[in-house]
């Protein structure tokens, strides 16, 4: 079965491509390399002994995307490609709406034109907004706390409407929590271009002495130690969840929304402690005021993925920090 992976040279995309190839799928990657590096293809080849077909194409290039479907019988799509920096999205909302929404609309229209109606969409726990109480359940009301979150929210709604109009579609919306970690080969991991957005890349910069200390945003939340609590999930567990979702979608018409999380919350200070253990390095930090838009606690109610996909996270925080460090310590 030939699968198109948009954003396939990215952090979660590349780990999912590895799993797809190892499960016997044929993979075509579409990526504009905005937040990833072409060298990832060689790393994927080293891990799987297969170099995926790659097109440096932007989803805003309607003709360029169509050509891929013209050339390859694409039987399913896993759609990761999109801008994903929450803070940045507040500064440049039009870029986020154009890139994420128009790009997805182009993809969906071309899929429809070529009769490809199997889609796994990379959504996010951010769609739960600020007012839902963890553990977060798929049926809870959605809310948008940033233009980035609004694009994920809107694309979920667009896909619901696509299914209502044509129930031959097979769609799974996966709501990720906080992906961290790296492949055991240490060849692929989280290696964003430019300034990091998330906690782990900053912790890693401090461990590598490229940053003097970590800013911890808030120590007065109503949590175990006052710092923010999140549901960190190993990127390999997360990518496995995509394979399970694809297996499910191939067998089931319909549209399902599913959390991919561990169901366990971990605080920033607990992450710092685990990373110090994994790296043997001291992580200096400074307590700073809360970051706008942050919730105190966010973690998944993860039973639907187990029931529907027979999937659950298997790796713990120590595995995540060990694998993160083993990847990060080798890169520039
Ligand atoms: C985690 C915790 C921060 C950086 C975001 C998106 C979400 C998803 C995952 C895409 C929080 C604290 C962070 C730092 C800190 N991305 N922190 N110092 O905000 O939970 O989720 O990434 O889908 O949509 O919203 O992740 O890694 O930014 O923060 O103290 O330098 O670490 O306050 O408690 P977040 P994060």
Contact, 229 vs 299, CB < 8 A?
A: yes
Closest residue by Cα to atom 14, ligand 1, is 199
Mutate to test the pocket of ligand 1, among 268, 272, 275, 317 (most ligand atoms within 8 A of CB): 268
Measured CA to CA, the distance from residue 167 to residue 117 in angstroms comes to 9
Protein residues with CB under 6 Å of any ligand 1 atom: 84, 86, 124, 126, 176, 178, 197-199, 202, 214-217, 228, 230, 268, 291, 294
Which atom of ligand 1 sits closest to the CA of residue 146? 25
Closest CA to 6 of 34, 28, 38: 28
Closest CA to 316 of 305, 324, 304: 324
- Give the pLDDT confidence of 205-238 residue by residue, as tens digits: 999 999 999 999 999 999 999 999 999 999 999 9
**What's the confidence (pLDDT) of residue 206?**
94
Measured CA to CA, the distance from residue 215 to residue 235 in angstroms comes to 24
**What's the confidence (pLDDT) of residue 191?**
78
DSSP letter for each residue of 234-257: EHHHHHHHHHHHHHHHHH--EEEE
What is the percent of the chain where pLDDT is above 70? 100
- Residue 171 Cα to ligand 1 middle (Å): 27
In this structure, the strands spanning 297-298 and 229-230 are parallel
**What's the confidence (pLDDT) of residue 17?**
98
pTM (2 d.p.):
0.97
Say whether 13 sits in a helix, a strand or coil: helix
- Residue 60 Cα to ligand 1 middle (Å): 28
Q: Which two structure tokens, joined as six digits, stand for 21?
A: 């190839």
Say whether 190 sits in a helix, a strand or coil: coil
- Give the pLDDT confidence of 142-188 residue by residue, as tens digits: 999 999 999 999 999 999 999 999 999 999 999 999 999 999 999 99
Residue ranges, the chain, pLDDT below 50: none
**What's the confidence (pLDDT) of residue 331?**
83
- Residue 323 Cα to ligand 1 middle (Å): 19
- Residue 146 Cα to ligand 1 middle (Å): 13
Measured CA to CA, the distance from residue 99 to residue 56 in angstroms comes to 16
Q: Give catalytic residues, as residue numbers.
A: 148
Closest residue by Cα to atom 1, ligand 1, is 199
């Amino acid at each position: 079965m030939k699968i198109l992976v948009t954003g396939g040279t990215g952090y979660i995309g590349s780990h999912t491509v590895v799993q797809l190839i190892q499960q016997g799928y044929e993979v075509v990657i579409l990526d504009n390399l905005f937040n990833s590096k072409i060298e990832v293809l060689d790393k994927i080849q080293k891990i799987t002994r297969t170099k995926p077909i790659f097109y440096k194409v932007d989803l805003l290039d309607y003709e360029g995307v169509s050509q891929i479907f013209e050339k390859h019988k694409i039987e399913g799509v896993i759609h990761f490609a999109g801008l994903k920096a929450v803070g940045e999205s507040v500064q440049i909302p039009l870029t986020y709406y154009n890139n994420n929404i128009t790009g997805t609309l182009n993809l969906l229209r071309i899929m429809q034109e070529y009769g490809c109606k199997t889609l796994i969409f990379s959504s996010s726990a951010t769609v739960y907004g600020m007012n839902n109480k963890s553990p977060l359940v798929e049926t809870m009301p959605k809310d948008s706390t940033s233009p980035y979150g609004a694009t994920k929210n809107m694309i979920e709604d667009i896909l619901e409407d696509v299914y209502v109009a044509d129930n031959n579609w097979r769609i799974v919306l996966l709501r990720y929590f906080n992906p961290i970690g790296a492949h055991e080969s240490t060849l692929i991991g989280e290696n964003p271009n430019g300034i990091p957005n998330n906690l782990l890349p900053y912790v890693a910069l401090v461990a590598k002495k490229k940053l003097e200390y970590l800013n911890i945003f808030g120590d007065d939340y109503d949590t175990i130690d006052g710092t923010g609590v999140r549901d960190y999930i190993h990127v390999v567990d997360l990518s496995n969840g995509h394979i399970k979702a694809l297996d499910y979608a191939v067998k089931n018409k319909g549209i399902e929304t599913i959390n991919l999380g561990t169901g366990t919350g971990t605080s920033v200070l607990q992450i710092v402690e685990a990373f110090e253990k994994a790296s043997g390095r001291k992580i200096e930090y400074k307590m700073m005021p809360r970051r706008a838009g942050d919730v105190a606690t966010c973690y998944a109610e993860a039973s639907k993925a187990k029931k529907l996909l027979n999937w659950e996270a298997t790796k713990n925080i120590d595995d995540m920090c060990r694998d993160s460090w083993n990847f990060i310590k080798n890169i520039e």
